[in-house]
Amino acid sequence: TSSRIVSTERRDLNVRAQIAGHLCGIIHAGLAKLLGVLNLPSPAQNETDSKSDKQLLEFVKSTSEKSMARAVQDAVAAANMTGLTVSGDGFWQTRDFQSAHGAAAISSCTMAPQVLDIETCSKTCNVHFLSKSLIQQSTMTLSSPIAVKKNFDKSFGTMEATAVLNMFKRPASKYGVYYTKYVGDGDSKTHHILSKNPPYTDKPIQKIEDLNHLSKRMKRGLNTIRREYGRKKLSNGKTIGGKNRLSAQTIRRLASDDICLNHLKVQT
């Protein structure tokens, strides 16, 4: 028998199963199928699970806010100033670039990076569509307006940049902190959006090139050239590949951080 959580009526195993379902992306329905296949007792009833989800959401929100506030304090202490260098990255619900839901995070650029802020973007409202579907299938009526959770109506390609811009606007009023340097890849739209819509009137955003992204782009480009022209002979009668030419080892060396760093120095 699972132990009971202090000051609640819930069992430890049920709470852990609920969290596991969310972390794995299978939620209650998937968890019920999994336990059924394993011939284990089913999870808590859906009504109970929905109530617990609301409690879990409030706890996660509270904990994440406290964690990010501490991360900002740590970043300020490490930089010894309120103008911070940060990096951002976006991710989507699906792997293509047509996902209706996405999110982005801002992280500190210290020896021990931490998440400073998060932002979600939704082009559709699943709650609205679900409620509309239920109404069409029955004679039920709604006693209160549907809370639409759609908060993004721009193109998919600007979702990450818009989310980062929203996060750049928050720290000044929230913590008295400014994000003055942004680490991003060369083909990112984010810095262009930040420059076009400056979040601060007297503090321009400086872009710092991410060597990892530059290295990956260089490696991908050289591999493409090697693959397309690998068997074609050049003007000297030799192919592009082979010993002392554009071999896999040469590509790795050219795409190394040192070479990319020199490339950036020449550009600047």
Query: Could you report the per-residue pLDDT of 4-43, keeping only the tens digit for each?
Result: 777 777 778 888 888 888 888 787 888 889 889 988 888 8
Structure tokens at 76: 């300020």
Q: What is the pLDDT of residue 223?
A: 81
Confidence tier at 1 by pLDDT (50, 70, 90): low
11 lies in some domain:
no
Number of domains comprising the chain: 2
Same domain flag for 177 and 117: yes
Is 80 exceeded by the pLDDT of residue 244?
no
- The CATH code of the domain that includes 130 is 3.30.70
Same domain flag for 124 and 185: yes
Q: What is the pLDDT of residue 127?
A: 52
Please state the rounded mean pLDDT for residues 181-206: 84
Which has the minimum average pLDDT: 102-111, 240-249, 255-264? 255-264
| pLDDT: which is higher, 7 or 114 | 114
For 33, phi then psi, to 5°, come to -65, -45
Same domain flag for 157 and 265: no
Containing structural domain, residue 160 = 78-209
Q: Which of 209, 235, 260 is the last residue of a domain?
A: 209
Same domain flag for 235 and 245: yes
Which has the minimum average pLDDT: 52-66, 150-164, 187-201, 213-227? 213-227
Same domain flag for 116 and 132: yes
44 lies in some domain:
no
Percentage of residues of the chain with pLDDT beyond 90: 23
Percentage of residues of the chain with pLDDT beyond 70: 78
Rounded to the nearest 10 degrees, the angle between the axes of helix 12-23 and helix 46-79 is: 70
Please state the rounded mean pLDDT for residues 117-131: 70
| Range among 9-13, 164-168, 187-191, 249-253 with highest mean pLDDT value | 164-168
- Secondary structure class of 50 (helix, strand, coil): helix
Please state the rounded mean pLDDT for residues 86-114: 83
For residues 182 and 83, what is the distance between their CA atoms, to the nearest angstrom?
Answer: 11
Is 50 exceeded by the pLDDT of residue 138?
no
Q: Which of 172, 193, 209 is the last residue of a domain?
A: 209
Same domain flag for 184 and 220: no
Same domain flag for 107 and 120: yes
Residues 121, 155 contacting (CB under 8 angstroms): no
Residues 217, 186 contacting (CB under 8 angstroms): yes
Q: What average pLDDT is seen over the chain?
A: 78
For residues 255 and 220, what is the distance between their CA atoms, to the nearest angstrom?
Answer: 9
Residues 247, 232 contacting (CB under 8 angstroms): no
For residues 193 and 88, what is the distance between their CA atoms, to the nearest angstrom?
Answer: 13
For residues 252 and 242, what is the distance between their CA atoms, to the nearest angstrom?
Answer: 14
Please state the rounded mean pLDDT for residues 79-93: 89
What torsion do the CA atoms of 225, 226, 232, 234 make, to the nearest 10 degrees? 80
Q: Which of 209, 225, 242 is the last residue of a domain?
A: 209
Q: 10 Å Cβ neighbour count for 79?
A: 17
Rg (CA), the chain: 25
For residues 33 and 22, what is the distance between their CA atoms, to the nearest angstrom?
Answer: 14
Same domain flag for 146 and 214: no
Please state the rounded mean pLDDT for residues 54-68: 89
Residues 117, 104 contacting (CB under 8 angstroms): no
Same domain flag for 109 and 231: no
Same domain flag for 94 and 150: yes
113 lies in some domain:
yes
